Chain A
Amino acid sequence: MTTKLNSFIGVFTGGDSASARSRRLKVVSYLILGSLAVFYIWPLIMLISTSLKPLTEYLKDPAGLPTAPTLANFAEAWELANFPQYLLNSAFYTVTATAIFIVSSLFVAFPIARDYFKGSNIILTLYVIALFLPPALIPQFQLILNLGLYNTRPGYILLFLINPIGMIIIVNYIKSIPRELDEAAAVDGASYLRYVLRIIFPLIRPAIATVTVLHAIGIWNEVILPTIYLTNADLYPITRGLIVFQGVYGNNWPGIAAAVLMLMLPLLILFMFLQRYIISGLTAGAVKG
């Protein structure tokens, strides 16, 4: 395992004994990792340190560490930026849209995976095709506008009720559940609805978790669609709120940094617990080809 694939860098390290070479390899590896890591850790440290500085100190010395750390920026951003409302909006959009999407997809995915009726394969193909079609941006806007849903919560949620990749992941996972299980349940007299919700749903939890997390993160992070569809500040999700806040308090970077950290925290917590599902979702299908 140690030498597996260190080949590429190993090329640059020449002959000598195996142990000397492997030591040198490690040094080179850490040098590369370390110099890259600087650009991942330093911006984060800057963000934290800026958020802890009073504005006056920040203006004098933007890059230094805070001399007298304060949490005042967090309190200020919380109130000034109407944060509680935005967070609540973001949470509402994310939870509602994800829940509707997951439940409706489950009932689309199951009959397709089982090929229950003619044309079920065509439906799946239509989901795949969407990945290659032009963006829906403009007609989608016209649709929402003409339905009278512009600048409303339902209109905004409507945009997030679909996710072709998520659907394909669920279909593929259901296919791995043996059909014998369906037969046994049918013989026992289970109804379709009950079977899908009570037996299949728990069995495909890994796929559901992956799709849920990816879909939810996508909604939480979305900034373009709220810019297009929401003009009423009371409806803003946190991302849009933050961009507007940044526009208004352009030079108050301590306040902005505090706000960014508050937006980041839920994502980091989610990531800590669900890392496995996030990564498996992003690499799904990538390895088998």
Chain B
Amino acid sequence: MRIMRKNYLFGSGGRWQRLTPLFLLLPGVLLYFLIALGPSIATSVYSFTDASGLKGAPVNWIGFDNYKEFLFQGLASRDNIAATLRTLQFSALVTVIQFTLGLIIAIILNQNLRGRTFFRTLFFIPVILGVVIQGLMWRLFLLPRGGPMATMFGWLGLQSEFLGGQPSEAFMWVIIVQIWANVGITMVIFLSGMQTISEELYEAARIDGASNWQLFRNVTWPQLTPAINTNFLLNIVGSLQAWQLFYVLIGWKPGSQVLGYLVFAEGFGGTDNPAFRQGFAAAASIVLFFMVLIIGAAANKVVSWREQRYM
């Protein structure tokens, strides 16, 4: 059997020599199967077991029990469903605000303004800092007593307990930090999309007497389709799965958690119950996976409709 195609030109020597690329490829691919693809698929298997995080502990097949517990078992499942709905709420708010804000900033910075490089860098920097720096920076900034934001709120006659307040209040602040941290990516994707739009299109439209709004509506918006679609999908999928800022900003706080955090906390003992409930966590992560899949597919429908219309 021939493994290598004819277009492989190296290794005129023996048979083994011809297989060099295959041997060199194997470590990378095996690692990938072992660490990423295999475990990813195995998640669904684990979701039907009572696996714990203990080495050598027996793992039993328990059918749909984890899913039943997640959905129907008294108070706990009410919390789980609340966390699921909260994930949707988080994702919707983050997507809408981050998308809009990123677009507005990009439109402004795409003009020939003095200082545009400075502002672009400024808004982008949090992206590379990671959740620990982002989170601790904002915990300092949002200290309820005498912190900078509290002082500013004082001037305006407002009051907030910020991250230490009621779960719903803390939740809103996490949303703000999440957007603050990631709007830079949305912005650079829009900016790079805008740079591909030909100036001639604007000139032509302007000669026809188009207003600024018409320019935006009929030139920018359709021409920006690839960047709009990317940002739309990235924001939705990213925010459904985001939870690390909850971990750094407020920790495990019942009544403010999203599904991603629930998976981590159940699986690795972050809840009030220190047991590692990894089978249950796997089931919760499958629930999250289907949420991402369904919403992502719906978003993708919107995206391909836009492409048909504009491209």
| Interface set of A (CB-CB < 8 Å, partner B) | 1-11, 25-26, 29-30, 32-33, 36-37, 39-44, 46-47, 50, 61-63, 104-105, 107-108, 110-112, 114-118, 123, 126-127, 129-130, 132-143, 145-146, 150, 158-159, 161-162, 164, 179, 182-183, 185-186, 190-193, 195-196, 217, 220-224, 227-228, 239, 242-243, 246, 253, 256-257, 260, 263-264, 267-268, 270-271, 275, 278-279, 282-283, 285-289
| Interface set of B (CB-CB < 8 Å, partner A) | 3-5, 7-11, 20-22, 24-25, 27-29, 31-32, 34-46, 51, 53, 55, 103-105, 107-113, 115, 119, 121-133, 136-138, 140-141, 143, 145-148, 150-151, 180, 185, 188-189, 192-194, 196-197, 199, 202, 206, 211-216, 219-220, 225-227, 229-231, 241, 244, 247-248, 263-264, 267-268, 278, 281-282, 285-286, 288-289, 293, 296, 307, 311
**Are the C-beta atoms of B143 and A62 separated by less than 8 Å?**
yes
What is the minimal beta-carbon distance from A6 to any residue of chain B, in angstroms?
Answer: 5
**Are the C-beta atoms of A47 and B140 separated by less than 8 Å?**
yes
Q: Name A242's contact: one of B132, B138, B215, B307 (CB within 8 Å).
A: B132
**Are the C-beta atoms of A142 and B46 separated by less than 8 Å?**
yes
**Are the C-beta atoms of B212 and A143 separated by less than 8 Å?**
no
Residue of A with least CB distance to B266? A138
Q: Beyond A8-B220, A134-B40, A158-B35, is A150–B192 a contact (Cβ under 8 Å)?
A: no
Q: Name B130's contact: one of A139, A223, A283 (CB within 8 Å).
A: A223
What residues of chain B lie closer than 8 Å to A2, measured between beta carbons?
Answer: 111-112
What residues of chain B lie closer than 8 Å to A263, measured between beta carbons?
Answer: 132-133
**Are the C-beta atoms of B212 and A162 separated by less than 8 Å?**
no
What is the minimal beta-carbon distance from B66 to any residue of chain A, in angstroms?
Answer: 11
**Are the C-beta atoms of A191 and B226 separated by less than 8 Å?**
no
Q: Name A138's contact: one of B4, B119, B126, B281 (CB within 8 Å).
A: B281
**Are the C-beta atoms of A4 and B40 separated by less than 8 Å?**
no
A1 and B193 alpha carbons, distance in the complex (Å) = 15
A52 and B215 alpha carbons, distance in the complex (Å) = 50
**Are the C-beta atoms of A223 and B244 separated by less than 8 Å?**
yes
What residues of chain B lie closer than 8 Å to A11, measured between beta carbons?
Answer: 211-213, 216
- Show 26 residue pairs from A and B whose CB-CB distance is below 8 angstroms, ordered by the A residue: A4-B197, A4-B199, A9-B108, A33-B105, A41-B122, A46-B148, A107-B21, A107-B27, A111-B22, A112-B25, A116-B8, A117-B5, A117-B22, A118-B3, A134-B285, A135-B40, A137-B267, A138-B263, A143-B35, A159-B35, A179-B7, A185-B10, A221-B129, A253-B140, A253-B143, A264-B133
**Are the C-beta atoms of A257 and B140 separated by less than 8 Å?**
yes
**Are the C-beta atoms of A46 and B46 separated by less than 8 Å?**
no
Residue of B with least CB distance to A161? B31
